[in-house]
Amino acid sequence: MTEPANRPFVEFDRVQKSYDGETLVVKDLNLQMPKGEFLTMLGPSGSGKTTCLMMLAGFETATHGEINLDGRSINNIPPHKRGIGMVFQNYALFPHMTVAENLAFPLEVRGMDKSEREAKVKRALEMVQMGAFAARRPAQLSGGQKQRIALARALVFEPELVLMDEPLGALDKQLREHMQFEIKHLHESLGITVVYVTHDQTEALTMSDRVAVFNDGVIQQLAPPDELYERPQNSFVAGFIGENNRLEGTIESIEGSKATVRLKTGELID
Ligand code: ADP
């Protein structure tokens, strides 16, 4: 069977989510990602980013619409069968297991035999430069080391899609910048598709191929970082991108969180 070359790898097709059967926290979301893309969901707290990630991972179910992975609906596929790696802010490492055991666990769950597990664990630890730490327990690691192990654990079964939810939120600024570089490098060298959630615009703008700016369950703009800087589609995006905005203009008025900006071209945007 021939496959259309432009078929999206990840697709949200008119997805809605309500937790209480009333309020939509994700409203009619359409999003298509090609294979290999690094897409960041950026937006304030409560704007629906994590909910989107949880639906993609399979821990939440869409109230309406379809989520497709590589052309197939995954609505009815349980999380562990989706072939998706995940990294979260709180590492979620098992404290009673060594680093190597933490990494081997998802492979064991998949029924992989011991020698193959060991080879994959070794390779994943090398990827994040943690080969020497295999026998340690999480409590014996620094925050940055734990986050590297969490990253290795997400990569250990060679997923094609990796989801990251504020993975660097607990790290200090310097380490965060270093890890951004490492994550980007891993993305490029492994050719994986990444959906990355953050409220940190610097992180979003430095790492991503495209950024989806969320507010109130809606993607306000989906564009490469440069375009967000240069052509924010509305006042929310312009305001959120804020001080990093390279638009040359002056703020004419501010009402609540809405600003009206006059660009050098004379155009007014709000
Ligand atoms: P973000 O990741 O952008 O901070 P979330 O997706 O976590 O946003 O949350 C979107 C909205 O859904 C918020 O109003 C939040 O309170 C609500 N919400 C998130 N998870 C749950 C849940 N498990 N039960 C009920 N409401 C939830």
CATH number (domain holding residue 215): 3.40.50.300
Please work out whether the CB of residue 43 comes within 6 Å of at least one atom of ligand 1.
yes
**CA 251 – CA 270 distance, rounded (Å):** 10
Q: Is the CB of 174 under 6 A from ligand 1?
A: no
Whether residues 50 and 77 share a domain: the answer is: yes
DSSP code at position 79 = G
How many C-beta atoms lie closer than 10 Å to residue 195's C-beta?
25
User: What does the pLDDT profile of the chain (270 residues) look like in tens digits?
Assistant: 445 567 899 999 999 999 999 999 999 999 999 999 999 999 999 999 999 999 999 999 999 999 999 999 998 898 888 889 998 877 678 989 999 999 998 888 888 999 999 999 999 999 888 999 999 999 999 888 898 899 899 889 889 999 999 988 877 888 888 888 889 988 998 899 999 999 888 899 889 999 999 999 999 999 999 999 889 999 999 988 874 454 556 667 777 666 777 665 566 777
What's the number of domains the chain is made of? 2
What number does the ligand 1 atom closest to the CA of 54 have?
Answer: 6
Query: Which residue from 23, 51, 195, 198 has its CB within 8 A of the most atoms of ligand 1, so it is best to mutate?
Result: 51
User: What spacing in Å lies between the alpha carbon of 46 and ligand 1's midpoint?
Assistant: 5
Between the CA of 47 and the centroid of ligand 1 the distance, in Å, is 8
In a domain, 178, yes or no: no
Cβ–ligand 1 contact at 21 (below 6 Å): no
Who contacts 126 (Cβ-Cβ below 8 Å, separation ≥6)?
none
Residues 10 and 78 placed together within one structural domain of the fold: yes
Q: What does the angle CA 177 – CA 178 – CA 181 come to, to the nearest 5 degrees?
A: 90
Do 265 and 191 belong together in one domain? no
The pLDDT > 70 percentage for the chain reads: 89
- Taking only Cα atoms into account, the Rg of the chain, rounded to an integer number of angstroms, comes to 20
Ligand 1 midpoint to CA 12 (Å): 18
Note whether 263 and 197 are same-domain residues: no
| Pair (214, 239) in one structural domain | no
Rounded to the nearest angstrom, the distance between the alpha carbon of 164 and the centre of ligand 1 is: 16
Q: State the residue range of the domain holding 42.
A: 1-83+185-224
Residue 160 domain-assigned? no
174 domain residue, yes or no:
no
Residues 236 and 261 in one domain: yes
214 and 268 part of one domain? no
Q: Are 15 and 34 in contact (CB under 8 A)?
A: no
Instruction: Locate 14 and state its tokens.
Output: 């008119």
2 and 61 share a domain?
yes
Give the type of residue at 77: I
Rounded to whole angstroms, the Cα distance separating 36 from 230 reads 25
pTM equals: 0.85
Tell me, yes or no, whether 55 and 27 share the same domain.
yes
Distances (CA, A) of 20 to 17, 63, 67, 137, 254: 9, 10, 20, 40, 34
Which residues are CB-neighbours of 176 under 8 A, at least 6 positions away? Answer: 168, 203
Q: How far is the CA of 240 from the centre of ligand 1 (A)?
A: 20
Cβ neighbours of residue 196 closer than 8 Å, sequence gap 6 or more: 38, 39, 40, 41, 163, 164, 167, 183, 203, 204, 207, 208
Residues 6 and 78 in one domain: yes
Q: Is the CB of 59 under 6 A from ligand 1?
A: no
Q: What is the ipTM of this complex?
A: 0.98
**Residue 97 located in a structural domain:** no
Task: Note whether residue 57 is domain-resident.
Answer: yes
Residue 139 located in a structural domain: no
In-domain check, residue 6: yes
**Is 153 a domain residue?**
no
Q: How far apart are CA 197 and CA 47, in angstroms?
A: 11
Query: Do 73 and 22 share a structural domain?
Result: yes
- Pocket test of ligand 1: the residue of 45, 50, 219, 236 to mutate, having most ligand atoms within 8 Å of its CB, is 50
Residues 218 and 241 in one domain: no
Ligand 1 contacts CB of residue 45 (under 6 A):
yes
